[in-house]
């Protein structure tokens, strides 16, 4: 982790602390605000043009949100793996918070009425590849739904035009699709209408981001006030060719307000810096603290923890995950489940997987075809495993919501392995268990 990243972490954590102090219920999670901000511009596939503004958009929006008391997870030019990791971190922090905000600037695309946000290493050559190369917007909405935040805000400056429009068979491919079911208390903002495309902007920022930055300087800091000013700015800058799309409860837009924070003193800054990383298991956090405060109040404690973490790191390096390497037979069993009065029938799948250097990969059927399933994951030296599954549905009777054949789906699993066997359970939506037997 870079020192600058750590400094950003402690500053945003301090701002959150100051905001909480200003309220009577300072110890309550309801005062917490968490944001995930991603700006992708350095796209690597020739068919996805590089974008100048998204990294700037991420920098500028993050700075403003920190000023309004948000703990900001800021990421730029992320791969698919990096985006998934950031979303998982976001989901782990928003539980019971006052507000959860997700901002994305970059390329977005729709397929089969699903919206996908594209990482910089996306390689898309057909409809079938999109679910595997992009992040489904529903993944972020599911994290927000699970977090039960008081307010969920999703801002997508993500429907830039690109040469891939019109190349797919799934119907409308320009811009983003209208959102389907969203978690309660969620406001979604697109840079322009569904099915339309947005400008990357000729200045430092995309048009929507530029409009938001102007609005944040105004007097009306309600979400409704911010979106009203930002929309007017976008319409004016685009000559009425682009109008932001806003979907969500008007009452929430009027009720939620961005608050200005106060400036802290030096001692409080150091204390908040320490508190933001006091439970960290990352040695670079303590190195950053000691670099900034070599004679600080917590320097002795930081040195002790740094020494311990480095020793543990050496032990991990000396350990190995290749004890799990080899071929594994996989059996996935999902139970019957009731879904809105309808029965989604249980099913079982059997296929082979391979582990190499602690990395798991398995494939059922042909990628991009109905009834296919791909699993990827990592197995740590202690046997703990995190697994992601992506596939296309086969029999609609076995799916939640009776999804049509060939619809994309994804979920995560958590499990434990020994050198001879393993077991993992699905983490959301329905009870499923995967059993692994080493050949």
DSSP-derived 3-state class of residue 29: helix
Least confident of 37-41, 151-155, 262-266, 419-423: 262-266
Predicted pLDDT of residue 259: 76
pTM summary value: 0.54
Predicted pLDDT of residue 29: 44
Q: Is 146 exposed, middle or buried (0-12, 13-18, 19+ CB in 10 A)?
A: middle
Residue labelled with tokens 């929309």: 231
The pair of structure tokens assigned to 51 is 């974008």
Mean pLDDT score, 71-79: 95
Dist. CA 291–CA 21, nearest whole Å: 28
- Whether the CB-CB separation of 175 and 197 falls below 8 Å is answered with yes
Residue with the larger pLDDT of the pair 309 and 375 = 375
Predicted confidence band at 217 (pLDDT cuts at 50, 70, 90)? very high
Predicted pLDDT of residue 162: 45
Predicted pLDDT of residue 320: 56
| DSSP sequence for 292-354 | H-TT-TTHHHHHHHHHHHHHHHHHHHHS-SGGG-EEEEEEEEE--EEETTEEE--EEEEEEEE
Tens of pLDDT, residue by residue over 142-185, are: 999 999 999 999 999 986 554 455 454 333 455 576 676 677 88
Dist. CA 223–CA 218, nearest whole Å: 12
- Whether the CB-CB separation of 14 and 272 falls below 8 Å is answered with yes
Q: How far is CA 203 from each of CA 54, 76, 195, 215, 262, rounded to the nearest angstrom?
A: 11, 19, 24, 17, 31
Predicted pLDDT of residue 10: 47
Q: How far is CA 368 from each of CA 234, 390, 396, rounded to the nearest angstrom?
A: 38, 10, 17
- Whether the CB-CB separation of 261 and 195 falls below 8 Å is answered with no
Answer whether residue 81 shows pLDDT above 80.
yes
CATH fold group of domain 23-255: Rossmann fold (3.40.50)
Residue labelled with tokens 């802290």: 264
Closest CA to 115 of 101, 125, 104: 104
According to CATH, what is the number of the domain 322-438?
Answer: 2.40.160
Tens of pLDDT, residue by residue over 17-51, are: 444 433 333 334 447 899 999 999 999 988 888 99
Where do the structural domains in the chain lie, given as residue ranges?
Answer: 23-255, 322-438
Give me the phi and psi of 4, to 5 degrees please: -60, -35
DSSP-derived 3-state class of residue 360: strand
The pair of structure tokens assigned to 330 is 């996989």
């Amino acid at each position: 982790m870079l020192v600058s990243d750590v400094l950003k972490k402690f500053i945003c954590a301090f701002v959150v602390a100051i905001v909480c102090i200003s309220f009577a219920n300072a110890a309550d999670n309801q005062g917490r605000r968490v944001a995930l901000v991603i700006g992708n511009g350095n796209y690597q596939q020739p068919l996805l043009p590089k974008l100048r503004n998204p990294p700037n958009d991420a920098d500028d929006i993050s700075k403003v949100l920190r000023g309004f008391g948000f703990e900001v997870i800021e990421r730029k030019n992320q791969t698919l793996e990096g985006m998934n990791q950031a979303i998982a971190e976001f989901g782990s922090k928003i539980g019971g918070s006052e507000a959860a905000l997700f901002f994305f600037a970059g390329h977005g695309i729709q397929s089969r009425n699903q919206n996908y946000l594209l990482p910089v290493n996306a390689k898309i050559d057909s409809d079938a590849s999109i679910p595997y190369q992009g992040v489904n917007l529903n993944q972020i909405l599911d994290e927000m739904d699970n977090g039960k935040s008081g307010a969920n805000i999703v801002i997508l400056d993500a429907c830039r035009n690109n040469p891939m429009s019109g190349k797919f068979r799934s119907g409308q491919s320009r811009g983003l699709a209208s959102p389907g079911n969203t978690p309660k208390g969620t406001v979604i903002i697109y840079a322009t209408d569904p099915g339309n495309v947005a400008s990357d902007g000729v200045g430092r920022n995309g048009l929507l981001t530029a409009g938001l930055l102007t609005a944040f300087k105004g007097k009306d800091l309600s979400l409704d006030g911010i979106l009203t000013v930002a929309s007017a700015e976008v319409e004016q800058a685009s000559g009425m060719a682009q109008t932001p799309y806003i979907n969500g409860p008007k009452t929430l837009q009027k009720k939620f307000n961005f608050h200005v924070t106060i400036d802290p003193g030096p001692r409080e800054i150091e204390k908040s810096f320490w508190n933001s990383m006091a439970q960290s298991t990352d040695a670079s956090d303590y190195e950053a603290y000691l670099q900034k405060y070599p004679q600080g109040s917590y320097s002795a404690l930081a040195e002790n923890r740094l020494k311990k973490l480095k020793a543990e790191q050496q032990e991990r390096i000396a350990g190995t995950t290749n004890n799990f390497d080899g071929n594994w037979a996989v059996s996935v069993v999902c139970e019957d489940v009731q879904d809105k009065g309808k029965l989604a029938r249980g099913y079982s799948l059997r296929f082979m997987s391979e582990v190499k250097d602690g990395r798991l990969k398995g494939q059922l059927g042909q990628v991009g075809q109905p009834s296919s399933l791909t699993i990827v994951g990592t197995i740590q030296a202690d046997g703990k495993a995190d697994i992601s599954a992506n596939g296309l549905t086969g029999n609609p009777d076995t799916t939640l919501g009776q999804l049509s054949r060939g619809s994309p789906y994804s979920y995560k699993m958590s499990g434990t392995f020994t050198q001879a066997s393993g077991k993992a359970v699905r983490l959301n939506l329905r009870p499923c268990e995967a059993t692994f037997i080493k050949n």
